[in-house]
Amino acid sequence: MKKLLYTFIAISFTSVALLAQDDSKSVRFGVFGRATPTWYSMPTNNNYSKGGAIFGAGFGLNMEFRVTNVVSFQTGVGGDFDGGKIKYVDNNLGYANTNNYFTGYYLDKTPALVEIKGTSPSDPAYNNGTTTAHFLTSRQIHTTYVTIPLILKMKTKEISGFKYFVDFGANVGVLASAKSDDNTNDLVGYTITGVPITTSGSNKGLSIYKDCNPVRVGLNVGGGAEYRLAGTTSIFLSVNYVNSFISTVKTTSVYNATGVTTNSNNQSAFVYASQSFKTNGIQVNVGFLF
């Protein structure tokens, strides 16, 4: 019986020593998945406004480098699927009307966005049967980013198996895909006074990658807890707020027009759309660290 007791004590001390040794690992690896409701912040604009959030998701790999007993540097690579909704105003009363508010674009037969080259709607390039005109009423954007976090993680000592932490840093994302689901008023003709005649339409899964910035950088701040399962193997849960500093779309679009202007030589040209949609979101992360 004493031999069994001594064996149990020896095994217990060995286990504690191993756990302490594992807890001192300087590098840890992990995997995670997350749910991410996201929406766009945008300036006050006569042509568009906030349309609401969409439910996104993400997954990836973590690498955690211990700096001190309470501070770690966290990075890795992940995929984020997010976006947002925009409402558009369409009270197009004709290009000569100064009270027009609309955002329009052209599609070829693919269909794909057609670059507006600074000419007017009367240009043969837009009236030869190869393009169609559409005025936006709403748009839901779906983006895919390859994301690299750069995070400082500060955590407590272990309390009953739990360590609590806060983290602060930035996310760097590279755009892999950008598509939109659009509701539109589609041009079918003009009245005698030049007011567009339209019918309701939609364009689903339209690629808008060419109209987007290829990189985004933003704030990532949050907190959570991890629970040690064995050694340094832990399960964790965190909630983070993310906020992009860079607009998803380009500031000036060569694919969207908001009007037509006429110069002193009586030559007309499209007015390119000014736009800014910055991603905001709440990330609920669940994963394992080893």
Give DSSP secondary structure letters for 196-256. Answer: EEEEEEEEEEEE-GGGB-SEEEEEEEEEEEEEEEETTEEEEEEEEEEEESS-SB-SEEEEE
Instruction: Please tell me the predicted confidence (pLDDT) of residue 190.
Output: 84
Residue-wise pLDDT for 233-251, tens only, equals: 999 999 999 999 999 999 9
Confidence class of residue 124 from pLDDT cuts 50, 70 and 90? Answer: confident
Mean pLDDT in the chain? 89
Confidence class of residue 121 from pLDDT cuts 50, 70 and 90? Answer: confident
Cβ atoms of 173 and 212 closer than 8 Å: no
Which string of b and e fits 162-175 if b means at least 16 CB within 10 Å?
A: ebebebebebbbeb
Of residues 96 and 20, which shows the higher confidence score? 96
Instruction: Please tell me the predicted confidence (pLDDT) of residue 13.
Output: 36
Instruction: Please tell me the predicted confidence (pLDDT) of residue 96.
Output: 58
Return the minimum-mean-pLDDT range out of 23-37, 93-107, 268-282.
Answer: 93-107
- Tell me which residue has tokens 């030559």: 267
Long-range CB contacts for residues 222-226, cutoff 8 Å, separation at least 24: 222/166, 222/167, 222/283, 223/164, 223/165, 223/166, 223/167, 224/164, 224/165, 224/285, 225/162, 225/163, 225/164, 225/165, 226/155, 226/162, 226/163, 226/165, 226/289
Confidence class of residue 211 from pLDDT cuts 50, 70 and 90? Answer: very high
pLDDT at 12 over 60: no
Q: What percent of the chain has pLDDT over 90?
A: 74
Average pLDDT over residues 210-224: 98
pLDDT at 189 over 80: yes
Instruction: Please tell me the predicted confidence (pLDDT) of residue 93.
Output: 74
pLDDT at 7 over 60: no
Instruction: Please tell me the predicted confidence (pLDDT) of residue 98.
Output: 64
Instruction: Please tell me the predicted confidence (pLDDT) of residue 81.
Output: 98
Whole-model pTM? Answer: 0.88
Half-sphere exposure of 151 (CA within 13 A, CB side): 26
Residue-wise pLDDT for 49-78, tens only, equals: 999 999 999 999 999 999 999 999 999 999
Average pLDDT over residues 110-122: 88
pLDDT at 19 over 70: no
The tokens describing 64, both together, are: 């955690």
Nearest to 53 by CA among 32, 34, 35, 77: 35
Confidence class of residue 9 from pLDDT cuts 50, 70 and 90? Answer: very low
pLDDT at 146 over 80: yes
Instruction: Please tell me the predicted confidence (pLDDT) of residue 186.
Output: 97
Cβ atoms of 54 and 37 closer than 8 Å: yes
